[in-house]
Structure 1
Amino acid sequence: MRIVHVTDCFAPRTGGIESQVGDLAAAQARAGDEVHVTTATFGAQGQHGGAVEETRGVRVHRLGSRFTGGLPVNPWSGPRLMRAVLRDVRPDVVHVHAGLVAPFAYDGARTARAAGIPTVVTWHSMLDGGIPVLRAGSKVLGWRSSRMVPTAVSHAAARRVEKVLGLAPGEVPVVPDAIDVAAWHAVAARRETDPAAPVRFVTTMRLEPRKRGRHLVEAFAQALRALPDGAARLTIIGAGSEDALLRSRVARLGLGDRVTMAGRLTREEVTAAYATADVFCSPAILEAFGIAALEARSAGLAVVARRGTGVEEFVDHEVEGLLVSSDDELAGAMVRLVRDRALLGRLLEHNRDHAPRFTWDVVTQRAAEAYAEASARG
């Protein structure tokens, strides 16, 4: 099968969509498909304007413009370059990867629709705040076209897409994110748990407002007020615009000896941190999937996360972790796991013994099913 992926953002930029599109394309290429990625993101050496490179068996078409200041958009020549790629490649299907703001992806969907090519669109974000505008734009962009199959990375995200498109509940299929589960699950086998030691909470996130790192710090401080001194520790892994703010908040709350701001770590350093941690915390409300939480869950950690997010795809309450509905409940869940070591032990044992099923074999099959549906709609 010839597949063309369309994404605003791609490597060398880093982020959820970038990594997921790259890994999905590489998995499909390994399976024998001819796979292309079109993106408005410049290459590592500044490639753009239609430059083509090959990585991991995937041909990457850099369609960005030098007039955008490096932003992954190209409203000027992007549609023309996209039409040229589709004409030359003649794909069996176009797979568009979209977020709330994704002008290049939306241009790609419109171009594929105009060319009569079966198209799958996967939304990687929750769309909150943009549903009315997207609902109006969906008619112009033809998102309810008979040859376009809308999908989302989780059931939580799918519910937003259904509102945008005016579809009934359950009409938007899920093509979830995936990771190398086996590599992360290997960490679970070497994790060390000392029942007498403090409970070690950890999070990995971009330190940006929507990830709600400040709320996690405040919830942790609230939990500590209900616990004996030295009962818990928190490590925050990541970097971003709120780094200084979080460090200031930690100091102001007097948590300097109980909260570690680890900064950005390599994957090897993250796995080492997980090998000595107990609980992963995901405070974000608008988490469409939760790759970092899935990595931690695969590594054997218990997970505390918000209800109504994509984390519910792989965390059931009191099975793989605890699900909460507010920041007060987040603090309460921390207290509960410190006080109830038997519960924490059961969660850790379950996650050690049962790896999640979000592997690339599973996800490429889900994508293939969506492609078949788009083609069948003719």
Structure 2
Amino acid sequence: MVLSPPTALWVVPVNNLAGVARHVLDVARAGVPGWRLVFLTPPGALPDALRDLGAAVLVEPFGPDHGTRASVASLRHAVRTLRPAVVHSHLSHADIVAALAVGRGTRLVTTEHGIARDDLVYHRSAAKARVMAGVHTARLRRFDAVIAVSRATADAMADKWRPRREVVVIPNGVDPVPPSTAGTGLRVLSLARLAPEKRLPMLLDGFAVLHREHPEARLTIAGTGEEEPTVRAHVDRLGLGDVVRLPGFVDPEAAMAEHDVLAMLSIWENCSYALLDAAARGLGVVASDVGGNPEQLPPRCLVDADDPDAVAAALATQGLDPAARPGLEDWPTVAGMCARIAEVYDGLGGAR
């Protein structure tokens, strides 16, 4: 008699293809060895993309847009229907709902993708940050395994939330790509939400220094967000309107193929797919020396975002000297990442 594999229910409270969706889609495509995956999401582009991959998807009223009560009801219904051995939650809303909705018979696993050392990166006030830290400390008591996407993420969780279990670090996996055709030059790309934590004015200040020394340099700031008026105004103040583009959303792979350097000067990053993809494709990379970035990149790619001269120098080196570019060696593949997730599931006593 052949036994069916146990089910892991992935609980994802977003419906778009940004952020954590990349992680979800990669895992859906590769699979977790020895486990059947089912994905619970709200309606939108993400469940459509999961179906295109042949994944099992439950589309329910779930996530912040639907509220906590509806999300709890949707997750409880899914657990009663599927009887999963594991519920694996992603992002804060799903983590809290899973702690409220899932009974003791099912193992709970969480992956942390988005904590920051500075509480105000993701919270509007110190008071709200303290409240949410208490909520996460409490909900983690219900979880049987805790995963972080970088050592910096794990350390921040330990400092802020005091998890009782060891946090397992499983970085985002990236598969090798064909040999790069990336050339040398000073076509600089930013792929990020236009948000305050991405510190795009600092990138513009560094690029202004670069452009004075290299008039051929060009900058594309791709993405959308609430900071667009601020960024456009800063471009105008610096007199860079002829050499800086803000095209809105772009296809990341196509954009990287047309540029020489990816720049990201965020206040914090946990395990950036944009940085990993750029390094894998042979682009130059310049990033702030924060969070998980030093785990992904060598020191020559890391800068103090407050120093425009250092930013300009790093952009020039990464653009014009292919030997200085980081590459991506000894980094886990998507299959390797999924195998590590399977190890976490398999290590939960009684999960199978």
Q: Which whole-Å deviations, capped at 9, do the CAs of 1:350-377 have from their partners, x for residues lacking one? A: 62xx556242111101211222333379
Of 106, 109, 113, the residue aligned with 2:99 is: 109
Residue 108 of structure 2 aligns to which amino acid in structure 1?
A: T
Q: Which whole-Å deviations, capped at 9, do the CAs of 1:79-115 have from their partners, x for residues lacking one? A: 23312211221212111112xxx33431123323x33
Q: CA deviation at 1:18?
A: 2.1
Of 197, 200, 205, the residue aligned with 2:187 is: 200
Residues 46/153 of structure 1: CA separation in 2 closer, same or farther (3 Å cut): closer
Map 1:39-78 → 2, pairs under 5 A: 39=41, 41-43=42-44, 54-64=51-61, 71-78=64-71
Map 1:151-230 → 2, pairs under 5 A: 151-167=147-163, 171-179=166-174, 181-182=175-176, 185-186=177-178, 188-193=179-184, 199-225=186-212, 227=213, 229-230=214-215
Aligned equivalents of 1:71 and 1:7: distance in 2? Answer: 11
- 2:126 — aligned with what? none
Q: CA deviation at 1:324?
A: 1.9
Q: Taking every aligned residue pair, what percent have the same amino acid on both sides?
A: 27
Aligned equivalents of 1:339 and 1:371: distance in 2? Answer: 44
5+ unaligned residues in a row in structure 2: which ranges? Answer: 1-5, 124-128
Residues 138/365 of structure 1: CA separation in 2 closer, same or farther (3 Å cut): same
- 1:36 — aligned with what? 38
Aligned equivalents of 1:90 and 1:284: distance in 2? Answer: 41
Residues 244/138 of structure 1: CA separation in 2 closer, same or farther (3 Å cut): closer
- 2:114 — aligned with what? 125
Residue 9 of structure 1 aligns to which amino acid in structure 2?
A: V
Residue 266 of structure 2 aligns to which amino acid in structure 1?
A: A
- 1:6 — aligned with what? 11
Q: CA deviation at 1:45?
A: 12
Residues 376/215 of structure 1: CA separation in 2 closer, same or farther (3 Å cut): farther
Aligned equivalents of 1:263 and 1:80: distance in 2? Answer: 37
Residue 192 of structure 1 aligns to which amino acid in structure 2?
A: G
For structure 1, which segment, 122-131 or 361-370, has the greater mean C-alpha deviation from structure 2 after superposition? 122-131
Q: Which whole-Å deviations, capped at 9, do the CAs of 1:274-331 have from their partners, x for residues lacking one? A: 3xx1x2111101212111111111110121111222222321213xxx2123321x54
Residue 280 of structure 2 aligns to which amino acid in structure 1?
A: S
- 1:299 — aligned with what? 281
Retained in 2: the 8 A contact 1:298–1:356?
A: no
Aligned equivalents of 2:324 and 2:317: distance in 1? Answer: 14
Retained in 1: the 8 A contact 2:86–2:109?
A: yes
Residues 314/267 of structure 1: CA separation in 2 closer, same or farther (3 Å cut): same
5+ unaligned residues in a row in structure 1: which ranges? Answer: 48-52
Indicate yes or no: 2:305 matched with 1:326: yes
- 1:239 — aligned with what? 224
Q: Which whole-Å deviations, capped at 9, do the CAs of 1:184-210 have from their partners, x for residues lacking one? A: x32x532223xxxx5332221121222
Q: CA deviation at 1:217?
A: 1.0
Indicate yes or no: 2:27 matched with 1:24: yes
Residue 135 of structure 2 aligns to which amino acid in structure 1?
A: G
- 2:82 — aligned with what? 89
- 1:282 — aligned with what? 264
Retained in 2: the 8 A contact 1:144–1:165?
A: no
TM-score of the aligned structures, taking structure 2 as reference length: 0.83
Retained in 2: the 8 A contact 1:97–1:121?
A: yes
Aligned equivalents of 2:314 and 2:200: distance in 1? Answer: 21
Residue 177 of structure 1 aligns to which amino acid in structure 2?
A: N
Residues 358/213 of structure 1: CA separation in 2 closer, same or farther (3 Å cut): farther
Residues 27/263 of structure 1: CA separation in 2 closer, same or farther (3 Å cut): same
Aligned equivalents of 1:302 and 1:90: distance in 2? Answer: 47
Q: CA deviation at 1:243?
A: 2.6
Retained in 1: the 8 A contact 2:345–2:351?
A: no
Of 317, 322, 327, the residue aligned with 1:345 is: 322
State the secondary structure of the residue aligned to 1:286: coil
Residue 339 of structure 2 aligns to which amino acid in structure 1?
A: Q
Retained in 2: the 8 A contact 1:212–1:283?
A: yes
- 1:375 — aligned with what? 349
Q: CA deviation at 1:44?
A: 5.6
How many pairs are equivalent?
A: 337
